[in-house]
Structures are given as C-alpha cells and as structure tokens.
A and B are shown apart, each in its own frame.
Chain A
Amino acid sequence: QVQLVESGGGVVQPGTSLRLSCTTSGFTFSRYAMYWVRQASGKGLEWVAVIWHDGSTTYYRDSVRGRFTISRDSSTNTLHLQMNSLRAEDTAVYYCVRGFPETQWPTSLDSWGQGTLVTVSS
C-alpha cells in the first residue's frame, strides 16, 4: 500500500534552516506530483509547495517563495523540502502528500503522510 513517511522536523531558532524528507513506497513515485501541506496547531490546512511528477515544475505559496525549495530524488523515491530563513509563523506540522491524477496537473491530494513537526522558536 502507499506509504509516505516524513522526517527531519525539530525545534530551530528563527533565521536558521531545516530539511524535511519524505520516504515513499508502494507506488511508482515518478508518476505522481508531490506536495507539502502544513497545519499550525489548532489551525486549518495550508498548501506550501508542489513538484511535478518529473520534477519539471514547482510552485510555492507566496509566504515561502524564495525561502523554501521542494525537490525529489527518483533514485530513492524521496521528496524533500529545504527550509531556509525560518520564521515563527512557519511553525506547523508538515505533511508529505501525493497528488492525483498521475502524470497530469494535480488536482487532488489522495495519500497523506503522518506529518513531522517543525517548531521555530528562540
């Protein structure tokens, strides 16, 4: 079955960096767009970034563009999110999510990881 396992979260100070990873299995990684979606404590869901199935296209929400970089490694079926210049408002659980349909502009989020907590605090 589809498995998405995030790692790399932790407590960091403002202005520093963190790299999240998502190890995937149970599906053909290279055929699906992948997202990062975050959720601050007690708040709703917020799309962060997406990368196309072939890595050709990436999009970011305005508040993270220029600070975050989404990437993927098809040799290891792993998704990454490099987060630089972190701010307190980036504090959230970050979910790795598979996009659907495969090989097309993704319009649904059909499988979610368990999330990894990022806390930005001095």
Chain B
Amino acid sequence: DIVMTQSPVSLPVTPGEPASISCRSSESLLHGNGNTYLDWYLQKPGHSPQLLIYLVSNRAPGVPDRFSGSGSGTDFTLRISRVEAEDVGVYYCMQAVQTPPWTFGQGTKVEIK
C-alpha cells in the first residue's frame, strides 16, 4: 500500500499570511495515463471533510482561489496565499493512483496563532 506522510502535523498561522502543507507519498502518484492522483481535503471543526483540490492542482467547485496545489511524483504542496479564520481545520492529502486501498495522510491541523 502507498503510505502518505504530511508535514507539519500542526501549523499555527496568522490571518493574512501565507501557509503551506507538504505531502509525500511512498511511491510515485503518476499514472500511466498521465494523470497524477493526489487530492487535498479539509475537515473544518465539527464538520465532514470536503474536497479542496483534485489531480494535484484542480480546485473543486466553490473553493476560493487562495488555495492552490502543486507537485509531482512523490512530493506535493498545498498553499494558502492569505489565510483566513475560516480556513482552520485538519487538512488531508489522499492518493488514488494505486487502489484499492485509497490512502490518506495523517492530517495537518491548521489553527490561528
């Protein structure tokens, strides 16, 4: 199974400042069809997770453009250009190149300083 590792585990942020989260996979997430199957999800406090980014860099409908994803192979990054208070929660990356199983990172908790 592909193991997903996120860093940091906890990320204190200042509103208005940028923030970034790293996700690394134990194997390349590049599929033979040319797609790279890496998603980002956000679980706000007390809520269900929601899809933020799919295929490394595609924002899901309704996701603000301050969120961006990048990376290739085994190294990926989620960036928030200017953090807002509503962005707090736990962020998860997930791979879907080698399924089953679909595997998630352990999560990164973003909180306001």
A: residues with CB less than 8 A from B are 35, 37, 44-47, 50, 59-62, 95, 100, 105-115
Q: A44 is contacted by which of B50, B55, B96, B104 (Cβ under 8 Å)?
A: B104
Counting contact residues on chain B (CB < 8 A from A), the size range is 20 to 34
Q: Is B49 an interface residue when CB atoms closer than 8 A count as contact?
A: yes
Bound CA–CA A107/B39 (angstroms): 9
* Residue from A37, A46, A108 having most chain B Cβ neighbours under 10 A: A108
Contact with A along B64-97 (1 / 0, CB 8 A): 0000000000000000000000000010101010
For residue B90, which residues in chain A have a CB less than 8 angstroms away from its CB? 44
Instruction: Decide if B39 touches A109 in the complex (CB within 8 Å).
Output: yes
**Given A107-B54, A109-B51, A113-B48, 19 new contacts (CB under 8 A):** A44-B92, A45-B49, A46-B104, A47-B100, A47-B101, A59-B100, A61-B100, A62-B101, A105-B99, A107-B39, A107-B96, A107-B99, A108-B39, A108-B54, A108-B55, A108-B96, A109-B102, A111-B51, A112-B50
For residue B48, which residues in chain A have a CB less than 8 angstroms away from its CB? 95, 112-115
* CB-nearest residue of chain A to B31: A107
Query: Chain A contact residues: over half helix, strand or loop, or mixed?
Result: strand
The number of inter-chain residue pairs (CB within 8 angstroms) is 64
Instruction: Decide if B39 touches A47 in the complex (CB within 8 Å).
Output: no
Instruction: Decide if A61 touches B101 in the complex (CB within 8 Å).
Output: yes
For residue A44, which residues in chain B have a CB less than 8 angstroms away from its CB? 90, 92, 104-107
For residue A114, which residues in chain B have a CB less than 8 angstroms away from its CB? 48
Instruction: Decide if A45 touches B96 in the complex (CB within 8 Å).
Output: no
Bound CA–CA A112/B39 (angstroms): 15
